[in-house]
Amino acid sequence: MDEKILTRNIHKEGCETLAVYEQGGGYQALRKTLGGTAPADVIEAVKKSGLRGRGGAGFPTGLKWSFMPKEKNKPHYLLCNADESEPGTFKDRLLMERDPHLVIEGCLLGAYAMRADACYIYIRGEFVYPGKVMQRAVAEAYDKGYAGKNILGSGWDCDVVVHMGAGAYICGEETALMTSLEGERGWPRVKPPFPAQSGAWGMPTTINNVETLACVPFILERGPEWFAGIGPDERNTGPKLFCLSGHVKRPGVYEAAMGLPLMDLINDLGGGMLHDDRPLKACIPGGSSVPVLTAEQCNVNLDFDSLQTAGTGLGSAGCMVLDSSTCMVKALHRISHFYSHESCGQCTPCRQGTGWLASILARVESGAGRNEDVDLLVSIADNIEGNTICALGDAAAWPVQSFVKKFRPEFQAHVDAGACTILGVAESCT
Ligand SMILES: Cc1cc2nc3c(=O)[nH]c(=O)nc-3n(C[C@H](O)[C@H](O)[C@H](O)COP(=O)(O)O)c2cc1C
Ligand code: SF4
Query: What is the distance between the alpha carbons of residues 351 and 153, in angstroms, rounded to a whole number?
Result: 51
Predicted confidence (pLDDT) per residue in 39-55, tens digit: 999 999 999 999 999 99
Domain with CATH 3.10.20.600 in the chain: 241-323
**Amino acid 422: pLDDT:** 75
Listed residue (333, 348, 340) closest to 170, CA to CA: 340
Reported confidence tier of residue 14, pLDDT bands at 50, 70, 90: very high
Where do you find CATH 1.20.1440.230 in the chain?
Answer: 328-417
Residue 92 has pLDDT above 80, yes or no: yes
> In the predicted model, is pLDDT for residue 426 greater than 80?
no
Q: What is the dihedral of CA 278, 283, 288, 291, to 10 degrees?
A: -140
Architecture per CATH, 328-417? Up-down Bundle (1.20)
Instruction: Answer whether 391 contacts ligand 1 (Cβ < 6 A).
Output: yes
**In the predicted model, is pLDDT for residue 424 greater than 80?**
no
Angle between helices 100-113 and 91-98 (to 10 degrees): 100
pLDDT band, residue 1 (cuts 50/70/90): confident
144: CA distance to ligand 1 center in Å? 31
Tell me, in angstroms, the distance from the centre of ligand 2 to residue 118's CA: 28
Task: Tell which atom from ligand 2 comes closest to the C-alpha of 173.
Answer: 4
Start-end ranges of CATH 3.40.50.11540 in the chain? 18-228
pLDDT recorded at residue 65: 98
* 241-323 is classed CATH 1.10.3720.10: no
Q: Write the CB contacts of 112 (distance below 8 Å, at least 6 apart in sequence).
A: 30, 33, 34, 39, 42, 156, 158
Task: Judge if the beta carbon of residue 205 lies within 6 A of ligand 2.
Answer: no
Model-level pTM?
0.97
* Nearest atom, ligand 2, residue 390 CA: 4
Pocket of ligand 1, candidates 59, 92, 174, 191: which has the most ligand atoms within 8 Å of its Cβ, to mutate? Answer: 174
Ligand nearest, relative to CA of residue 173: 1
Beta strand spans in 57-135 (E): 77-82, 118-123
pLDDT average, residue stretch 348-366: 97
For residue 153, the 8-state DSSP code is G
**Which pLDDT score, from 0 to 100, does residue 120 have?**
98
Q: From the CA of 175, how far away is ligand 2's center (Å)?
A: 11
State the distance from the centre of ligand 1 to the C-alpha of 426, rounded, in angstroms.
Answer: 42
- In this prediction, residue 425 carries a pLDDT of 46
Decide if pLDDT at 2 tops 90. no
Cα separation, 210 vs 208, whole angstroms: 7
- Contact 224/42 with Cβ under 8 angstroms? no
Helix (H) or strand (E) holding 394, with range, is: helix 392-417
Average pLDDT over residues 144-156: 97
C-beta 212 within 6 A of ligand 1 = yes
Which residues, at least 6 apart from 96, have a Cβ–Cβ distance to it below 8 Å?
A: 82, 103, 123, 127, 130, 133, 134, 210
CA of 297 to the centre of ligand 1 (A): 26
The conformation of residue 173, written as its DSSP 8-state character, comes to: S
Nearest 10 degrees: Cα torsion 82, 83, 87, 92: 10
Residue range 18-228 in CATH 3.40.50.12780? no
Question: Cα dist. 247→149, 220, 274, 309, 325 in Å?
Answer: 50, 38, 5, 25, 10
Report the SS3 class of residue 357.
helix
Q: What are phi and psi of 226, to 5 degrees?
A: -60, -45
Whether residue 430 has pLDDT greater than 70: no
Q: Mark out the alpha helices in 328-391 (DSSP H runs).
A: 328-342, 348-366, 373-384
The answer to whether the CB of 392 is under 6 A from ligand 2 is: yes
pLDDT by residue (tens digit) across 190-247? 999 999 999 999 999 999 999 999 999 999 999 999 999 999 999 999 999 999 999 9
pLDDT band at 419 (very low <50, low <70, confident <90, very high): confident
Indicate whether residue 390 lines ligand 1 (CB < 6 A). Answer: yes
Rounded to the nearest angstrom, the distance between the alpha carbon of 64 and the centre of ligand 1 is 14
